[in-house]
Amino acid sequence: MLPLRTRIFAFLQQRLMKSPLTAEEMIALRAQREGFRTGPITALLFGRPADVETKETYVDGRRYAVYTPRGLNGPAPVVINFHGGGWCLGTPEQSAWVSSHVAARTGSIVVAPTYRLAPEHPFPAAVEDAWAAVEWVAKHAADLGGDPGRISVMGDSAGGNLATVVALMARDAGGPAIESQVLIYPAVEMYEKFPSEAANANGPVLTSTQMSTFSHLYMGSSYGDESWQASPLRATSHADLPPTLIITALHDPIRDHGTRYAEALRAAGTEVTLVDYDTAFHGFMSLPGVAPAAKKALAGIAEFLRSLPR
């Protein structure tokens, strides 16, 4: 069962925030969500960022938030963290709690890039921007205080989709080398509905109807395109990918996306750890104030990243 605080949050969210069904409603929701995120109860819901150095840099018009541990000694690992939001919503700041605490707990520099959002910029714009971020980090890691040979990718939901895609792209391109990937309730299949979507059709934060809206707006005129750049579960091969941590939530419509991706990785011989949180829901890592499982999952992410060979 979901914790009481989670059920209260879900109840209020359903009544205060209208689910967008059109492109215009989706665009309007961005401002509403950002106002909600920066409101007076921000820290209670979204958690307090860790005490790290935070700065911004701009690359070809895209803003990158950079979280650097204080007292850094020597080149540090770099984690590129792609935010969620159904490819239509979100900013790096909605993942600031995760990004900053991963930086503080692992001694890694976390780079959280923006990417162009649908419906104004449909597929493959987000993929292009995510790949550009990987290339830029690989080229400029040393300038940030990082090690270009120790780059990991991380992302939640739509950001998890982008992390899986760029890991596949890096493998096929022969680099940049990706040390690991952390996939938090990733969306890896654009069209097929798995059993978890029926079981959690009206789950907190994400519903089956909303997932369909996100998919249609993200794909735009390319809806129906079955390429793995949209649905990485459909890649011809999942071999030769880096060690992977996949986090899923029992009450998430797309829980089975993570489970199926873990199965595909294991079948291809890729090292994968799958952790499911039975009191969690889609988006819980961005809402530690209403999801007790978020702190436990954060500890698991930090442990996974620290365990990588150095």
* Cβ contact 74:274 at 8 Å: no
What six digits make up the tokens of 214? 């996100």
Tokens of 54: 């935070």
CA distance 160 to 186: 4
* Cα–Cα distance measured from residue 54 to residue 237, given in angstroms and rounded to the nearest whole number: 38
**Could you report the average pLDDT of every consecutive run of 10 residues in the chain (310 residues)?**
73 67 86 68 83 97 97 94 97 96 98 98 98 98 97 98 98 98 98 97 92 97 97 98 98 98 98 97 94 97 93
Q: How many residues does the chain have?
A: 310
List beta partners, residue 247: 184, 275
Q: What is the pLDDT of residues 261-275, one digit of tens each?
A: 999 999 999 999 999
Using CA atoms, how far apart are residues 140 and 242, in angstroms rounded to an integer?
21
In the numeric block, which tokens belong to residue 71? 């007292």
Q: Which residues pair with 76 in a beta bridge?
A: 146
Is 257 tagged catalytic? no
E strand map for the chain: 53-59, 62-68, 76-82, 109-113, 146-156, 180-184, 244-251, 272-281
Q: Is 282 a catalytic residue?
A: yes
- Strand 146-156 relative to strand 244-251, pairing: unpaired
Do residues 97 and 103 touch, judged by C-beta distance below 8 A?
no
- Selecting among 129, 147, 156, 252, the annotated active-site residue is 252
95 is catalytic: no
- 108, 157, 208, 215: the catalytic one is 157
| Sheet strand arrangement including 146-156 | 53-59, 62-68, 109-113, 76-82, 146-156, 180-184, 244-251, 272-281
State the first-to-last Cα distance of the chain, in angstroms, to the nearest integer: 40
Non-local CB neighbours of 145 within 8 Å, separated by 6+ positions: 68, 72, 75, 76, 109
Identified catalytic residue from 208, 238, 282, 286: 282
Global pTM exceeds 0.75: yes
The model's pLDDT over 251-307, given as tens digits with 9 standing for 90+, comes to 999 999 999 999 999 999 999 999 999 999 999 999 999 999 999 999 999 999 999
